[in-house]
Chain A
Amino acid sequence: MDILKIRDLSVTFPSLGANTRAVNGVDLTLRQGEVLALVGESGSGKSVTSLGCLGLVPTPGIVTGSVKLDEYEIVGAEDHQLQDIRGSGIAMIFQNPMAALNPFFTIASQLIAPIRKHRNFDYETAKNEALISLGKVQMPDPQLALEKYPHQLSGGQLQRVMIALALACKPRVLIADEPTTALDVTVQAQILLLLRQLLKDEKLSILFITHDLGVVATLADRVAVMYAGRIVEIGDIKPIFAEPKHPYTKQLLATVPRLGRSKDNLHAIEGQVPDMAAPPSGCAFHPRCNQCSEICRTDIPVLQSFDENNKVACHHPVHISSGGSNGATVLTNEAG
C-alpha cells in the first residue's frame, strides 16, 4: 500500500539573478512498512524534498506539485492544518541531534509537550509515555535523562531522544534526514540497529535521506538516487547495487572506499554538482558523464522503467553486457 505519494514536486528559490530550482519534478512513492533511501551528493535536493513533505520549505521557496499522505494534500495546506500532520502523521529526525533540541529547556519539557498535544494526554500519562519511548530507544536510565538539559547528553543519546520524540507521537511516516552523519561510527551503528529494531516493532515507513551508501545497504529496501534535483534512478536495492543502470549511480557506488583496494584507486567523480541557478542543458549529469553523447546535451532524459523493479532516467543506461564495475560486486556482498 502506498502511504506517501510525491508527484511532480518542484521547489524553486527565486532570487534576483536566476531562480534556483532545488527540486525538479520529483516522483516518489513510499510504501507501507518499507525503508526508501534517498541518496545523492550534497546539494542534490534531498533535504529540500524532505522539507517539502512537511510543508517546511523555508521562505521564499516556491513549492509546486503534490505530496499526499494517504489522501491528505500537504502542498499548499495552511500552517495550522499542517501542525496536526507534523509529528503525528509525518515525523522527522534531523541530521545534527546536538542542534535539534532547544538548549534552554530540559528533555522532559521538550518531550512531554508534543506528546500531550498530539495524543491528548494529561501530564502524568504523557510523562509515562515519554519514559516508555525513551525505553524503546534503549536510553540508559530514562528517568534521569528526562531531567537533563541537551548539553548534558552525548550526541548518540540526543539522537535517541530525537527518535523517541518522533516515535512518541505515533507517526505513520518517519523522515530521517541523515540521522547518523554527525555521530561517531560506533554510535552510528547502534542508531542504525535501533532503527532496524523499531522498524520491526512499530508500524513505520521510513524515508531515509543519506549520502552514505553503506547505511543504505544495511537499512533500505529500495533506493532512489537523486542528482541535481531529479530522481535519476530508483528501484530495489540489490539490483541497483549489483547492476547500476545510470552512469551516475555507477560512479557513486565506485566512490565508496573499501578495504583491500589500493589507496591510489580512491575514486572520485570528476567535476562538481551543477549550480542549480544555471543547470546544464539536457541531462544535468552530462558534463561529468563518460557515456555522454549528442542527445544528452540537448534532451532531458525521462525516468522510465528499465525492468519490472527499476526505473532509470538516462539515454544510455549501462547494460549488463557492458559489465558491472568491480566496485558494485563487492558492494553486493555487503548489502547481502
Chain B
Amino acid sequence: MSVSNQITITRTDRALDFIKRHPLFVLGLTMVTIIVICALFAPAIAPFEPGKINFKHKLVPPGLEHYFGTDALGRDIFSRIIYGTRTSLLIGITVLAVSIAIGLPIGLVAGYYGGKVDHFLMRISDVFLAFPPLLLPIAITAALGAGLFNAMIAIAISWFPWYARIVRGAVMRVRSEQYISAAKAIGVGNLRVMLGHALPNSLTPVIVQASMDFGYTILAAASLSFIGIGAKPPAVEWGLMVAMSRSKFLDFWWTAGFPGLAIFVTVLAVNLVGDGVRDILDPRYKGHS
C-alpha cells in the first residue's frame, strides 16, 4: 500500500465521521425520510383504504391482517396512520410557510429601519404574542369556523410574531456590520441593501427555528383536531383519530395508542432534525445538544 492511499479520506469515511458527530441528527433525518416516503407512496404502502368502513372487523386488536388493529368503524389504523402523514406534513409546511410569509417581511423592515417603524410593527405583532399559546388559535378557529384549513391559518397567525422577532433581531445584528455601511457608501439603495445584503445574512436563525417549529405545528393542529375544531371526519388526521377513540381507548388501547405514537414519533423526528440543523449551522452551539 502506498503512502498516499493511507491518508486518502473516502466519501464513506466522511459520511461515517458525520454520523459519529451528529448521531441524533442522522437518526431524526432517517425518521423524517421514512415519514416523507410514507406520505408520497401512501396508496402503495397502506394495505387498506383509509376511509373504508367494515363493521365485521371493528375493534380488531393488532395482528397480522391489521398491523395496528382497527377502530370502532372497522377502519384499518395502520393505513390511516400512513395516510395521516400527508395531512401532518401538509400542516407543517403550510403553517410555517404562512407564518414566515407574514413574519419575515415585518421583521426585515422593522429591524432594518428601526425607530418608529420598528415600534409600530413590533407592537402589532406583540398583540398576537399577548395570548397564551394555544388560546389564540382556538379563538380564531372558533371565529372562522372549524376545519383543518382554518386551523392552519389560525396557528400561522398566532405563530408569525416569533418569526418577525427572530428576523428583526438577526437583521439588527447584521445592520451594524461594516459590509452594510460599505454597500451604502458605494451607492446601493435601501431595498437592495435590505434584500441583497441584510436578508441572506439573517436567514440562519429562521431556518433553525422553522425546523424546530415544524413538530410544534403538527402537535398544535392535532390538539385543535382533538378538541373538535380542527380536522373534521372524513379527513384522516392523527389528532382526530385520538379524539374519535376517546370513549374506547381504555378497553381498546390501540385505537388511540398508535395515532398518539405516530404524533410522538413525528414530532420527535422533526425536533431531532431541528436540533441537528441548529448545531450544524451555528458554531456557538457545537458540542451542546
Contact = CB atoms under 8 A, between A and B. Distances in A.
Interface of A: 51, 54, 56, 59-60, 79-80, 82-88, 91-92, 94-96, 99-104, 113-114, 117-118, 162, 165-166, 169
A92 B185 CA distance: 6
A91 B186 contact: yes
Nearest to A96: B178
Contacts of B187: 82-88, 114, 117-118, 169
A157 B235 CA distance: 61
Give the interface residue-count category, chain B. Answer: 10 to 19
A101 B196 CA distance: 12
Contacts of A99: 177-179
A103 B201 contact: yes
A177 B36 CA distance: 54
B179 A86 contact: no
Nearest to B187: A87
B188 interface: yes
Interface in B180-199: 181-190, 196-197
B287 interface: no
20 contacts: A51-B181, A54-B184, A56-B181, A79-B190, A86-B185, A86-B186, A87-B185, A87-B186, A87-B187, A92-B185, A92-B186, A94-B178, A94-B185, A99-B178, A100-B179, A100-B181, A102-B196, A102-B197, A104-B201, A162-B182
Contacts of B201: 102-104
- Top 9 nearest A-B pairs (CB, nearest first) are A87-B187, A99-B178, A86-B187, A100-B182, A87-B186, A92-B185, A102-B179, A104-B200, A100-B178
Contact of A91 (B177, B183, B185, B189): B185
Contact of A101 (B115, B182, B184, B188): B182
Q: Looking at chain B's contact residues, is the secondary structure mostly helix, strand, loop, or mixed?
A: helix
Contacts of B179: 99-103
Contacts of B184: 54, 56, 86
Contacts of A88: 187
B114 interface: yes
Nearest to A162: B182
Contacts of A92: 182, 185-186
Contacts of B196: 102
A9 to B, nearest CB: 18
B178 A114 contact: no
A82 B183 CA distance: 13
A120 B178 CA distance: 26
Contacts of B177: 99
Contacts of B188: 83, 113-114, 117
Nearest to B190: A79
Q: Which of A56, A83, A84, A102 has the most CB of B within 10 A?
A: A102
Contact of B186 (A95, A103, A169): A169
A56 B185 contact: yes
B237 to A, nearest CB: 40
B167 to A, nearest CB: 16
Contacts of B190: 79
Interface string B132-147: 0000000000000000
Contacts of A83: 187-189
Contacts of B182: 92, 94, 100-101, 162
A96 B177 CA distance: 11
A213 B199 CA distance: 40
B99 to A, nearest CB: 24
B200 to A, nearest CB: 5
Contacts of B183: 102
Q: Which of B179, B188, B196, B201 has the most CB of A within 10 A?
A: B179
B214 to A, nearest CB: 25
B197 A80 contact: no
A95 B177 CA distance: 12
A129 to B, nearest CB: 14
Contacts of A169: 186-187
B181 to A, nearest CB: 6
B281 to A, nearest CB: 14
Nearest to A166: B186
A223 to B, nearest CB: 24
A54 B201 CA distance: 24
Contacts of A100: 178-179, 181-182
A114 B189 CA distance: 11
Nearest to A89: B187
Nearest to B175: A58
Nearest to A113: B188
